Amino acid sequence: MSHITSIVFGDIFRYENREYIFLVQADNITYAARILEVNESKIINGLYEKRVASNSVLEKNILYCYVKLETAQFKGRIAHFKNTGQDDFRLLIEKLSYSLDAKDKKQIKDEILRKDSPVPIGLKELIRDISI
C-alpha cells in the first residue's frame, strides 16, 4: 500500500465518491472517519436518541460512535467511526481543499479517546499525541 502524503489529521478526502476525514496512518493502516450523508446521519442519530430514551447502554456500540459535525461544509452530517482502519485506500484518493474546523477536530479526538470508545486500540494510541 502506498502511503498518503501531505495530508494531516482533520483533512478531508474523497474516495469512491464518499467523503472521509483523515485521522492518522501507521504501517499499512489508514484510519479515517466516513462523513455520512444528511439522511444517513439523521437515521443513525435518531436510532441513538431512541436508545438513549430507553436507557440502553450504548458506549461500546460502534454504530453510535460518531461526532456531529459543525464545520460549515458538513452541517447536518456526522463523522462515523464504524469501519475506521478497515477501508483499503490503495487506489487514488482526492484530497479536498478544506479541512475540519478546530472544534470538530477536538470533538473527534475526544470521541476516539473516550474511555469506552469502541474504536481500535491502535487508533487510540496513535491519536493521543496529535495536537489540534
User: How many domains are there within the chain?
Assistant: 1
Give a yes or no: residue 110 inside a domain: yes
* Backbone dihedral angles phi then psi of residue 68, each to the nearest 5 degrees: -75, 120
Give a yes or no: residue 37 inside a domain: yes
Give a yes or no: residue 35 inside a domain: yes
| Amino acid 81: pLDDT | 94
| Amino acid 79: pLDDT | 97
Give a yes or no: residue 23 inside a domain: yes
3-state DSSP assignment of residue 25 = strand
Please give the single-letter amino acid code of residue 70.
E
Distance CA 67, CA 41 (A): 10
Taking alpha carbons only, the member of 86, 73, 13, 79 closest to residue 45 is: 79
pTM over 0.85: yes
What are the pLDDT tens digits along the chain (132 aa)? 444 458 899 999 999 899 999 999 888 889 999 999 999 999 999 998 888 888 776 677 888 899 999 999 999 999 999 988 887 776 667 888 888 999 999 999 999 999 889 999 999 999 998 988
| Amino acid 71: pLDDT | 96
Structural domain span for residue 113: 11-127
Whether 132 and 105 have beta carbons less than 8 Å apart is answered as yes
Q: What angle do CA 94, 132, 46 make, to 5 degrees?
A: 70
Strand partners, 94: 14
- Strands (DSSP E) found in the chain: 11-15, 18-26, 29-35, 66-68, 78-80, 94-99
Give a yes or no: residue 19 inside a domain: yes
Please give the single-letter amino acid code of residue 120.
P
Q: Which three cell numbers stand for residue 56?
A: 440502553
Q: Which three cell numbers stand for residue 8?
A: 494531516
Give a yes or no: residue 6 inside a domain: no
User: CB under 8 Å to 20, separation ≥6 — which residues?
Assistant: 12, 13, 14, 32, 33, 34, 35, 87
